[in-house]
Amino acid sequence: MSKRIAVVTGGTGGLGIAMCEALCDQGHTVIATYYPSPETEAQAKECQESMKAWGAEVLLYPLDVSSFESCQNFITTVEAEHGPVDILVNNAGITRDAPLKRMEHQQWQDVIDTNLSSMFNMSKLVFNSMCERGWGRIINISSLNGEKGQFGQANYAAAKAGIYGFTRSIALEGARKGVTVNAVSPGYIDTPMVRQVPEKVLNSIVEGIPVGRLGKPVEIARAVAFLAAEDSGFITGTNLSVNGGQYMS
């Protein structure tokens, strides 16, 4: 297997760490991004150390995926220091939940900018280079709630649903150039964020999952690594739902 340059946005969260480890296992040079702030800087360093102890060498870079200028600066730096990006995992995302009647415009815009516009910001900057080199993998992380909707998440569900149209469209553009573009839609995964949900609510969620449990971060990471593999070149424009059977389409 060739050693590739892989970028995972939001790479220091519960899912991002597992994705970085899985791509390291494939022998790639892995770069994880995190939103720049004093709090996230410390968290990112902690994540890097834990991954290093596990045996994964992951490089860290600050990045605001909602800003095209920030993404431009990041890609320019990565290309200068490591070479062109071969694998891009668009994983960064936020929530700003509220029922529509109480949702502020800024809550809508923040989620659209971070969860959907970021797909354009990052993919735009690596897609042409991938096509010119004749190989590339773009994997966009959507969500179960992008497939079925969710009360109080009109902004989040809209952004995550928009990922499917974006994925299929650029998959068509890159297909004859050796560039595949796919989506992965996680269900409810056992991460620190999900564990903050009140126990009664969490139990109700688990009861609605046919396999009877939360997913594991490594199960999402396996899906990402599968789509990133050298021999996955015949899979493009698709969505891989990893949700324990909670939503079937």
User: Residue 29 is which amino acid?
Assistant: T
Q: Return d(Cα 120, Cα 124) in angstroms, integer.
A: 6
DSSP per-residue letters across 112-126: HIIIIIHHHHHHHHH
The SS3 call for residue 60 is strand
Question: Measuring CA to CA, how many Å separate 249 from each of 24, 70, 130, 241?
Answer: 32, 36, 31, 9
249: tokens are 């389409």
Active-site hit among 61, 156, 164, 188:
156
Question: Could you tell me how far CA 56 lies from the centroid of its own chain?
Answer: 19
Are 4 and 86 in contact by the 8 Å Cβ rule? The answer is yes
Residue 120: name the closest of 157, 63, 65 by CA: 65
Q: How many CB atoms lie within 10 A of CB 158?
A: 16
The SS3 call for residue 213 is coil
Is-catalytic flag, 156?
Answer: yes
Q: Return d(Cα 166, Cα 124) in angstroms, integer.
A: 11
Active site residue ranges = 156
